[in-house]
Structure 1
Amino acid sequence: MDAPENPWFSLDYLERNWEEVSSQLVIHTTLTLQALLIAFAIAFPLAVIARRIPRLSGPIMGVSGVLYTIPSFALFGLLAPFTGIGRTTVLIGLVAYALLVLVRNIVVGLQGVDRDVTDAARGLGYTPTRLLLQVELPNALPSIIAGLRIAAVSTVALVTVGVVVGYGGLGQLMFRGLQSDYRAQIMTATILCLVLALVLDLMLALTGRLAMPWARRRAVA
């Protein structure tokens, strides 16, 4: 039987176009990681402020929630006149979308810390900074890691939408494949997106396990 002229799976396509595929995969990966790092760097202090000053919790969650409700195509389009076509526009959009997930999970984690534990730490003379870093943060880690895992997977998906401003990583291959009905190109980009999301999720899960040895001991017990 003859092989189909336009197969969905083709190692030949991957071999012939590996340089381009690997280049877009690197772009997709670095965009995702950079967006997560920036979003976390912004979300953590915001979450701490929301936890420490309850009256600011509503505005902080409200602003991040509004950003999350804007459709990705529309957000990239709105940013383009100010930030141009390319990486910066996509990165700003990705950070905006990751903020709500991260802020919410960090706040939930901090609020879930047993009040008796924090009161005992204060009684021992812990300063607010020491209390946060040595007591609240370790106890909030499960919720924080969960938020990072959700944000990572959603960011991998959202990077593809960056094609609207000409910087979508593997989304560039998907879009061109859809335009030309090149099935191998579409499927290759799709599978690589799935693999990237899975790898990042597993890495964050492993990081969480390593950062919370007490949780492993509890599970064994």
Structure 2
Amino acid sequence: MSFFAQLSQWLADPNRWSWTDPAGIPFRTVQHLWFSALALAISIVLTVPLAVCLGHYRRGQFLASSAVNIGRAIPSFGLIILFWFLASRWGANTDFWPLLLALVALALPPLFTNTYAGVVQVEQEVVDAARGTGYREWQIMLRVELPLSSPVIVAAARVAFLQLIATVAIGAIVNDGGGLGRYIVDGFALGEQGHGEIFGGGLAVVILALVCEGLFALLTKLATPRGLALQQARRDS
């Protein structure tokens, strides 16, 4: 059977477009997004408050630079295998925890580093002006530094989320769910007869990543304070 015939047959499966069947593209897309979004939410809770606090007091520069190096050095697949091994030894759910913990570990470095850098880059004159009007330190962090650094934080979330989407697909090797990556793994298991499924699964992952990229670009625009956006527009013009 030719490649295009395989792909057509795979797409023509009546359950391929089901929201409830585990073999359906919509079902696995939701599963893919759920893992990615959950890991991103946990990473934001763990990193953003700490990075904002350290950036406000101008502490933790070594930690921020170390996070960059750690983020570049961590092999995503190696983390998944490591957490799978630990989960299997401890009797934990190997279909959930290994992939989730690996995703969180991958998202932490870029979120922490960019949030810290965004807060540090806020002009000191603005911070001093807020302090002079009677703002407490926590108010400066929440009402001044966090809004002004929000475009950088959202940009970090976008980079982390796209990395998470790619890693969820890889995680299908050790995860019975695995989102859209399950098609790729199952296709390889079929050998030559699975080329259509491999291509379909890979294309679905690419489309999902592009859609998420566009949504985050819109979110970045919405998260930019009006005054900061006008200032950037004047610089560009």
| TM-score tier after normalising by the smaller chain length | 0.7 to 0.9
- 2:179 aligned residue: 169
Question: Contact (CA 8 Å) 1:101, 1:147: kept in 2 or not?
Answer: yes
Please show how residues 66-145 of structure 1 align to structure 2 within 5 Å. 66=70, 69-80=73-84, 81-82=86-87, 83-145=92-154
Higher helix share: 1
Q: Does the alignment pair 1:45 with 2:44?
A: no
Residues 8 and 188 from structure 1, CA distance in 2 versus in 1: closer, same or farther, beyond 3 angstroms? Answer: farther
**Over the residues paired in the alignment, what is the CA RMSD in angstroms?**
2.4
Worse-matched range after superposition: 113-122 or 164-173: 164-173
Same amino acid, percent of matched pairs: 30
Change (3 A) 1:217 1:56: closer
Q: What is the 5 A alignment of 1:154-165?
A: 154-165=163-174
Tell me if structure 1 keeps the 8 A contact 2:151–2:221: no
Specify whether residues 133 and 53 from structure 1 end up closer, same or farther in structure 2 by C-alpha distance, changes over 3 A only.
closer
Contact 1:68 1:97 in 2 (8 A): no
Question: Which residue number in structure 1 is paired with residue 212 of structure 2?
Answer: 200
Q: CA deviation at 1:46?
A: 2.3
The question of whether the paired residues in 1 share the 8 Å contact of 2:56 and 2:141 is answered with no
Calculate the TM-score normalised by the size of structure 1.
Answer: 0.87
**Superposed structure 1 runs of 4+ greater than 6 Å apart:** none
Structure 1, gaps ≥5 residues long: none
Equivalent AA in structure 1 for residue 2 of structure 2: E
State the one-letter code of the partner of 1:163.
Answer: A
SS class of match (1:18) = coil
Q: Give 3-state SS (helix, strand or coil) of 1:164's partner.
A: coil
Q: CA deviation at 1:55?
A: 4.9
- Counterpart-to-counterpart distance in 1, 2:131 and 2:58: 19
Task: From 170, 178, 182, give the equivalent of 2:188.
Answer: 178
In structure 1, what is the Cα distance between the partners aligned to 2:93 and 2:185? 20
Any idea what the Cα deviations from partners look like across 1:44-87, whole Å, max 9, x if unmatched? Answer: 02212432455544246536753652322221122122344112
Structure 1: which amino acid aligns with 2:198?
I
CA contact (8 A) 1:177 1:183 kept: yes
Q: Is the 8 A contact 2:71 2:110 kept in 1?
A: no
Deviations 1:81-106 (A, max 9, x none): 23441122211110110110111110
Q: Hey, what's the Cα distance between the residues in 1 that align with 2:141 and 2:8?
A: 51
User: Where does structure 2 lack aligned partners over 5 or more consecutive residues?
Assistant: none
Number of the residue aligned with 1:25? 29
Contact 1:153 1:200 (8 Å CA) reproduced: yes
> For residue 173 of structure 1, what is the amino acid of its counterpart?
Y
Return the TM-score normalized by structure 2: 0.82
**Deviations 1:186-221 (Å, cap 9, x if unpaired)?**
111111111111111211111221222335444277
Give the secondary-structure state (helix, strand or coil) at the position aligned to 1:46: helix
Letter of the 2:220 counterpart: G
